[in-house]
Amino acid sequence: MVAMDAKKINILYIIDFFRDVGGTERHLSHLVMNLPGDLFKCSVVAFDLGPNILVDRMRRAGIPVIDIPVGREYTPQALKGVLTLSGFIKANDIDIVQTYHQKSDTFGALAAKWSGVKHIVSSKRDMGQYRKAWHVALNKALRPMFDKVIVVADAVGEMIVAKEGVSPSRIVRIYNGVDALEFLPPTSQQRIAERASFGFETSDFVIGMVANFREEKNHHIFFEGACKALKMIPTLKILAVGSGPLLEKYRAQYAHDSIGSKIMFPGAVTDVGRYLQAMDVACLIPGKNEGFSNSVLEKMATGLPLIVTDVGGNAEAVIDQENGFVIEAGNVSAFVNALVALHADPNMRLRMGLKSRELVEQKFSLDAMCREHESLYLSLVEKER
């Protein structure tokens, strides 16, 4: 164990981009703000940094967040960025570098190695379907540089072992954590008030999905299934929360459709908890490339039953028939059947919602995530300390 009067462990987190308030960005901000300040000194470098509420929060908490532009790979700008990063690492006596995403795994790890950092950790957060063949080859070449590879789900770890040849002994599975005090099940009065604020009746059956509108999130399956379920559930209402490149496409597609009056597209929101508290059922039905969704955990913490696809770590958070339904990706009929079953049985919804909350408190708390990272970091430096 590190002595309390020892030098703090300097950890630098390197991330490819920090312009959104997506899952990885929320995870990283939670982590650096909740590690024990008497043991760790944290800083963040982003290769592409933009105005962001999470960045503002970290800076107000005294955590440096630095923009070091890298741009496209294998350009003079990239080399300049790596040299600047190397200088920052040396100047700040960094003990551990942790990288997120492909550029960071490459340029961040190389800069750390050149600068004499003793411990380099990679954080893998999805199934890697969008990695090109040469990225996989590069990762294989660089794998000896990493002491450990953190994965957010067992499914991600199995993929890394199979595709990149990482030894299972280097894999550390740390589930994402959610702030169980920020996301609470609503009281009856809160639920009624939130639903009314969105124009929903108490008798409406409100389903929702919180996800950026990108191809892999399968919004087309979500809306197709909802349209079919509407024939059997006339009170069905839909909350589709999130921004992204495909948002306007779906807004336009359903603007004049018969189901259009049933759908609310609020876009990006900072108070997602309000929307969750208005839902009866929450969904996340990606077709590929999911890791371990923070959004799923937020929905579970709010006490909701879920419908998710068996992609990435979804089935490690949602236990089929216990706190929701786990369905095959792209299976519209299975999605419709799950919606109809949950609508028909309010007691099942209640039971599954209670189980969701219980699982968060037992396995997926923010505190548990931070303590597991803390244990990993201490194990890396214990011999030197």
* pLDDT tens series, the chain, 385 aa: 334 345 899 999 999 999 877 788 989 999 999 999 999 999 999 999 998 899 999 999 999 999 999 877 667 788 888 899 999 999 999 999 999 998 999 999 999 999 999 999 999 988 776 677 878 888 888 889 999 999 999 999 999 999 999 999 999 999 999 999 999 999 999 999 999 999 999 999 999 999 999 999 999 999 999 999 999 999 999 999 999 999 999 999 998 877 889 999 999 898 999 999 999 999 999 988 788 998 999 999 999 999 999 999 999 999 999 999 999 999 999 999 999 999 999 999 999 999 999 999 999 999 999 999 999 999 999 866 6
Q: Give residue 4's pLDDT.
A: 37
In terms of Cα–Cα distance, which of 20, 17, 32, 15 is closest to 369?
32
pLDDT, one tens digit per residue, over 326-343 is: 999 999 999 999 999 999
pLDDT, one tens digit per residue, over 177-186 is: 999 999 999 9
What the chain holds in terms of domains, given with CATH numbers, is: 9-177+365-381 (3.40.50.2000), 188-363 (3.40.50.2000)
* SS3 label, residue 84: helix
Neighbours of 205 (CB within 10 A): 22
In terms of Cα–Cα distance, which of 171, 113, 104, 168 is closest to 135?
104
Give every CB contact of residue 151 below 8 A, 6+ residues apart in sequence. 124, 125, 157, 160, 171, 172, 173, 174
- CA-based max dimension of the chain: 67
Give every CB contact of residue 247 below 8 A, 6+ residues apart in sequence. 213, 265, 267
In contact, 107 and 70? CB cutoff 8 Å: yes
Strands (DSSP E) found in the chain: 9-15, 40-46, 65-67, 96-100, 119-124, 148-151, 171-173, 205-210, 236-241, 263-267, 281-284, 306-309, 324-327
Q: Give residue 385's pLDDT.
A: 61
| DSSP summary character for residue 48 | S
Q: Give residue 2's pLDDT.
A: 39
Q: Give residue 142's pLDDT.
A: 86
